[in-house]
Amino acid sequence: MSAPASPTPIPVATPEAVAGGRRQDPRRPGRTRHPLPRGLFAAVQTSFLVLIGLLVLVPLAAIFLGTFQDGGQIIRNGLSLDLDFSVLSLDNYVLLFTDSGPYFRWFANSVVLTAVQVVLTLLVSSFVAYGFAMYEFRGKNAWFISVLLLMTVPFEIMMLPLFVLVNDVGLADSYGVIVVPFLAASVTIFFFRQYFLGIPRELLEAGRVDGVTEFGIFFRIVLPIARPALAAMAILNGMVIWNNFLWPLLVLRSSEKFTLPIGLNTLLTPYGNNYELLIIGSFFSLLPVLVLFLLFQRFFVAGMTAGALKG
C-alpha cells in the first residue's frame, strides 16, 4: 500500500520578502509584486508621462498662439495662453511670406550648413571612434584620454585662440571655418567608441577572411549595425548645430551668409525692433528640429541606451 502523497507546501511570505511596500513573489524568487494592481500602476504611470508631455508642450503652444498676435503687445504682456481671440490675425504670416526680407535666405543657410556639418561630423567622429575601439596602436590610451579631457574644456576658452587663427589664415566670413574645426567632436567620438566596443570582433574577422578591405568593413559592416547610434547622434548634433550662435556670429560678416539665429538677432536694433517677424520666425525655426526628431525617433532611444551600456 503506497504512502499518501504529501501535500504541496503553501509558500509563506516572510518579513524578509516584504520590504519597501513590495512583496516578493514566492513563485518567482528574486521578483517582487507591486502593491498596486498591474492595470492601475500602468494607468498611473501613463498619466504621469502624459502630464510631463503636456508641460513640455505648453511653451510650444504659447509661441504658436503668439504668431497670431501683435509683436509689441507680446513684448509688453508676455506670452500667455489666456487670449482674446478677437485680436488674433494672420498679419504675421502675411509678413513672413511677403515682406520678410532675407529671412528665408537665412533659413536656407542654416538648413544646408546643418545638414552638411551633421553628415561630416558623424562620418569623421565615427571613423575616429572606430580606430579607438577596434585597433591597437601606440599611445592609444593617451590619445583617448585627451579626447575625454577635451570634453571638459568649455568652448569659450578655445574661442579666442581659434578666432585669432581663423583671422591669421584668412578664412573668416566663410562656412568652412564653421564646419571644419568641429568635425571631430569629442562627445560624439566617445559615444561611438562605447557603441563600437559592443560589436563582436568576429564579424570584422569574417569580413577580412572574405577579402573585404578595412574601409569596406567600416562602411559595409560596422556602419549598418550602428544605425541607432548614428540616428541618436544626428539628432543631438543637429540640435546643437542648428542653434549654434556664438561662433558663427564671430566669423560671419556678410548678412547674406548669416544663419537663422544670427539673422533673427539682427531684427532687434537700437533704431527699431521687428517683433512680429522675430516671433513667427522663431516659431518656424523650431520646425526643422522637430522634423529631424520625428524622422529618427525610433532609433533614438535604442541608440542612446546601447551607447550608454556598451563597453
Q: pLDDT tens digits for 141-154?
A: 899 999 889 888 88
- Domains in the chain, number: 2
Secondary structure (3-state) at 8: coil
Examine the domain organization and report whether 184 and 280 are in the same domain.
Answer: yes
Examine the domain organization and report whether 75 and 104 are in the same domain.
Answer: no
Examine the domain organization and report whether 189 and 291 are in the same domain.
Answer: yes
* Side chain identity at residue 291, one-letter code: V
Average pLDDT over residues 36-58: 83
38 or 52: which carries more pLDDT confidence?
52
Are 298 and 291 spatial neighbours (Cβ–Cβ below 8 Å)? no
Beta carbons within 8 Å of 171's beta carbon, 6+ residues apart: 177, 251
Examine the domain organization and report whether 171 and 186 are in the same domain.
Answer: yes
| Alpha carbons 115 and 121: distance in angstroms, whole number | 10
Q: What is the mean pLDDT of the chain?
A: 81
Instruction: Tell me the CA end-to-end span of the chain in Å, nearest whole number.
Output: 63
In a domain, 5, yes or no: no
Strands, E, within the chain: which ranges?
Answer: 18-19, 22-24, 32-33, 268-269, 272-273
In a domain, 7, yes or no: no
Whichever domain contains 137, its CATH number is: 1.10.3720.10
Is 108 a residue whose pLDDT tops 70?
A: yes
Cα separations in angstroms, 253 against 85, 112, 259, 262: 42, 18, 11, 10
Strand partners, 23: 18, 33
Q: pTM for the whole thing?
A: 0.77
Domain edge (last residue) among 96, 111, 141: 96
In a domain, 3, yes or no: no
Strand partners, 260: none
In a domain, 9, yes or no: no
* Side chain identity at residue 78, one-letter code: G
Give 19's DSSP letter.
E
For 151-192, how does the pLDDT look when each residue is reduced to its tens digit (9 = 90+)? Answer: 888 888 888 889 898 888 888 888 889 998 889 899 999 999
Cα separations in angstroms, 79 against 75, 98, 235, 273: 8, 25, 28, 17
Examine the domain organization and report whether 148 and 224 are in the same domain.
Answer: yes
Examine the domain organization and report whether 118 and 230 are in the same domain.
Answer: yes
Examine the domain organization and report whether 135 and 281 are in the same domain.
Answer: yes
Domain edge (last residue) among 96, 118, 144: 96
Give 18's DSSP letter.
E
State the number of CA atoms in the 13 A half-sphere of 99 facing the CB.
6
Examine the domain organization and report whether 91 and 139 are in the same domain.
Answer: no
Here the cell at position 261 is 539665429
In a domain, 23, yes or no: no
State the number of CA atoms in the 13 A half-sphere of 290 facing the CB.
7
CA neighbor of 131 nearest in space, from 141, 117, 120: 141
Other CB atoms closer than 10 Å to residue 296's CB: what's the count? 19
Examine the domain organization and report whether 73 and 184 are in the same domain.
Answer: no
Examine the domain organization and report whether 154 and 113 are in the same domain.
Answer: yes
pLDDT band at residue 241 using 50, 70 and 90 as cut-offs: very high
For 182-235, how does the pLDDT look when each residue is reduced to its tens digit (9 = 90+)? Answer: 898 999 999 999 999 988 888 888 888 888 888 999 999 899 888 888 988 998
In a domain, 10, yes or no: no
Examine the domain organization and report whether 49 and 134 are in the same domain.
Answer: no
- Domain of 182 in residue numbering reads as 100-309
In a domain, 19, yes or no: no
Examine the domain organization and report whether 71 and 174 are in the same domain.
Answer: no
Here the cell at position 286 is 523650431
Which H, E and C letters describe 230-280, residue by residue? HHHHHHHHHHHHHCCCHHHHHHCCCHHHCCHHHHHHCCEECCEECHHHHHH
In a domain, 137, yes or no: yes
Cα separations in angstroms, 124 against 76, 128, 165, 218, 243: 47, 6, 22, 12, 21
